[in-house]
């Protein structure tokens, strides 16, 4: 489970960075793509804190 959560979190992080960079090339959707990048990076950081952190407390 830890490996799967890591792969998902890493993929979301990379996709978020992609959205950050690509947001300025898309006309009239800049804010939506940039906020989507912020959401993806935030979720990718929250996964290790909330999902992977519970397994270490046991």
Domain range summary for the chain, segments of one domain joined by +: 2-56
For residue 51, give both structure tokens. 């999902």
Average confidence (pLDDT) over 27-35: 93
Mean pLDDT of 14-36: 94
What is the rounded CA–CA span in Å between residue 33 and residue 25?
Answer: 10
Look at the alpha carbons of 35, 41, 45, 46 in this order and tell me if their dihedral is positive or negative: positive
pTM of the model: 0.82
Q: Tell me: the pLDDT tens digits for 37-54?
A: 999 999 999 988 887 666
The percent of residues in the chain predicted with pLDDT above 70, rounded, is 86
- Residue 58 clears pLDDT 60, i.e. is over it: no
């Amino acid at each position: 489970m830890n490996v799967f959560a890591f792969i998902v979190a890493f993929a979301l992080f990379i996709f978020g960075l992609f959205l950050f960079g690509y947001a300025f090339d898309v006309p009239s959707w800049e804010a939506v793509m940039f906020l989507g990048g912020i959401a993806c990076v935030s979720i990718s950081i929250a996964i290790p804190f909330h999902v992977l952190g519970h397994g270490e407390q046991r």
